A and B are shown apart, each in its own frame.
Chain A
Amino acid sequence: MMEIRLMSYGGLKDITGSDALGFAIPQQAVSVTELKELLLARYPALEGKTFRIAVNERFVEGEFEVGSGDNVALMPPFSGG
């Protein structure tokens, strides 16, 4: 069991319900791919959305490991100008 800090940007805040919240994960460590699956299970509205995951302010994906206490940001593209 571990907890990460989940930060949502742009319109994704409306899906997670907050710009920053604690997110509990049953494992001790997960890959970014596994984290994405957990996020989709918790927030089904993320399905099909375009966004990147940043761990500790660095965009990562795939097998990159997310650990306890990491800051995880969900970053969509912005459109307005």
Chain B
Amino acid sequence: MEPDFLDRYQRQLSLRAVGMGGQRALRAARVTIVGLGGLGCPVVQYLAAAGVGNFLLVDADRVSLSNLQRQILYTQNDIGRFKVEVAKEWIQKQNPQIIVEVYTEMLSAENATAYLALADIVVDCTDNFAARYLINDACASANKPWVYGSIAKFEGQVAVFNAVTTTPEVENHNITTPEFSQHSALRSLNYRDVFSKPPGEGEIQNCAEAGVLGALAGIIGSFQAMEVLKWILGLHGLLANQMLTYNAIDHSIVKFQLVNNSDRK
């Protein structure tokens, strides 16, 4: 721990849910963030500030002028630089003790398994389905939890997939057989249990096509950061086996319950 950690983390050390043990868990945690755009910026900023000790940042994009409206980690001086390089500098200014590895490649079938294997938990901050399904499938085969977030105009979706949970589908299915309840730890459902295959090319608009206000990316990215913190700290209420939707117009939140694909008729 940094010599100044008592002072630095005082506001969260005083939470019973964090304390010294939680702070150590945050320091030891390795988080891979795929995509350092509108969602990735708040995710990395809140997690670094909270004391997550190790980051792997994956993004092949460079900062452009049209990013600045919502990707508030970057400034006009950063235009043309790799986002992961700028994010690494920001983290190390925030706290030089944090270890950051950066990858300036697009996530691909070739590198996904290797990049994600290094993490305790993965955060999907991408803007496309190809990357999202790569993350899902690589995490499913490596037994890694991942935090999903995505936005569409004034709405967002957030979920935690493939996390070990002690209260799994039992609640959703009203299954109370003794055999089933003996499983104390089961993996939560994954993205393919919601959407079994990607939509057609061009079917779903991304932010460039549909438009987005930066504050929504900040809200949904903050939801994702909170789920990562809850997972590391072992807190209850993780968004496993459910998908939260948020609407920025009326601030309505709905948590949809997920059902296992193989159980669906």
Enumerate chain A interface residues (CB-CB to B < 8 A): 9-11, 19, 48-50, 52, 54, 57-63, 73, 75-81
Q: Are B39 and A81 in contact (CB under 8 A)?
A: yes
A34 CB to nearest B CB, Å: 14
Partner of A79, one of B128, B254, B264: B128
B103 part of interface (Cβ distance < 8 Å) = no
A61 to B98, CA, bound (A): 46
Partner of B40, one of A73, A78, A81: A81
Give the A-B pair count, Cβ closer than 8 A. Answer: 100
Partner of B151, one of A50, A60, A80: A80
Q: 0/1 per residue, B198-213, Cβ < 8 Å to A?
A: 1110011111001010
Give the residue among B205, B243, B256 with the most A Cβ atoms within 10 A: B256
Residues of B within 8 A of A48 (CB): 200, 203
A9-B155, A80-B210 given as contacts; is B257 within 8 A of A59 (CB)?
yes
Q: Are B259 and A79 in contact (CB under 8 A)?
A: no
A10, closest chain B residue (CB):
B152
Q: Are A50 and B203 in contact (CB under 8 A)?
A: yes
B223 CB to nearest A CB, Å: 13
Q: Are A58 and B204 in contact (CB under 8 A)?
A: no
Q: Are B256 and A81 in contact (CB under 8 A)?
A: no
Residues of A within 8 A of B157 (CB): 78
Q: Are B128 and A57 in contact (CB under 8 A)?
A: no
